[in-house]
Amino acid sequence: MATPGAPRFNSKSPTIKRILREAAELSTTPSPDYHAAPATDADLFNWHFTLRGPPSSPYASGIYHGRIILPSTYPLRPPSFRFLTPSGRFEANREICLSISGHHEETWQPAWGIRTALVALRAFMETDAKGQLGGVEMSEEGRRGIAGETPGWRCGGCGGRSNGEILGEREEAFRAMELEREREGEKGEGEVEVEVPRELQMGFKDEMGKGKGKEKEEADTEEAELAEGFVRTADVAPVDESVQPVHIPPPTPTPTQQPPQTWHRPLVPQTPYVPQTPYRAPAPAPAPLQQLAPQPPQPQTRSNDGVPMWIDRAIAGVVVLLVAMVLKLLLGL
């Protein structure tokens, strides 16, 4: 039987392991500018955060408080954020639309965590709302006035402590960590610096606006070069105009040595192939009929069988003699 009030979660779940690891890392490696932790031990998906305003801005003197809701599939899906204190930049008690929030899951990467999201959220405060969901348009004077009131704001879910007290504890923990490192002979590394990933900067480029100063111009130039497929690898040395270039004439061939000649095949424009019908010669015209003059009859020298006529006559004469001899014999009897 579970003990009343004890945490009820599966410690073997990858999501629970990730949340516990991030909570321990934020607690053991504190930052004087931000802090986040689960509101209760029984609900690891409901976090509260305390954030100091970015320096050199109307929010510099402010300390702001808010909530982070982690999805059940964290870190595969991004968390959601809302400010509980007024800031002049975001509406209080309303989920804000950012590239690191659940409104833009396409820009979130599981490698990022709560610390990365807090650093990005702090950078977002210096941007213009421009009709952003949960954004507020206000003058710098109004934002400075709200910032001066935020350190005394108290959260009932955080033990009734004020924003100033929460970050004050983080500052003391940070100094204690640095002293402990000095006693052990280690070099103090200072605060854990977390830079906003470049992919995340590209994701909320519209919210970041055009930026300020030379750094933004260099970033824009670099992005333009990348967009054109060109990456600068080295600076080109300036040309010294005082140095005149030396002209070297080409070698003149001797009479016995002719310059090499190369033969280039002339380019013949290719015409598309068009099939043609086979050639047929015209039929010859029929020759005109000629009228033949009548010929006189020629004496017949051969019989119809092709035998000469004198042979036929000789045979006929022999036959006649034989017949006469037969008749003479018959009459003599």
Give the DSSP per-residue string, 236-247.
PPPP-TTSPPPP
Length of the chain: 333
Q: Give me the phi and psi of 254, to 5 degrees please.
A: -75, 160
Sheet holding 63-69, edge to edge: 34-40, 43-52, 63-69, 80-83
**Residue with more model confidence, 122 or 11:** 122
| 43-52 vs 34-40, strand pairing mode | antiparallel
Domain ranges of the chain: 14-227
What's the token pair of residue 260?
A: 């090499």
Q: Which range, 136-145, 265-274, 288-297, 320-329, is most confident? A: 136-145
What is the biggest distance separating any 2 CA atoms in the chain, rounded to whole angstroms? 190
pTM attached to this predicted model: 0.57
C-alpha 189/C-alpha 90 separation (Å) is 33
pLDDT band at 287 (very low <50, low <70, confident <90, very high): low
Single out the catalytic residue among 69, 76, 92, 97: 97
pLDDT on residue 315: 87
pLDDT on residue 278: 62
Q: Tell me if residue 97 is catalytic.
A: yes
Q: Which range, 23-27, 181-185, 243-247, is most confident? A: 23-27
C-alpha 256/C-alpha 234 separation (Å) is 48
Instruction: Identify which of 57, 56, 58, 60 has the alpha carbon closest to the alpha carbon of residue 33.
Output: 60
C-alpha 122/C-alpha 46 separation (Å) is 20
Domain 14-227: which topology? Ubiquitin Conjugating Enzyme (3.10.110)
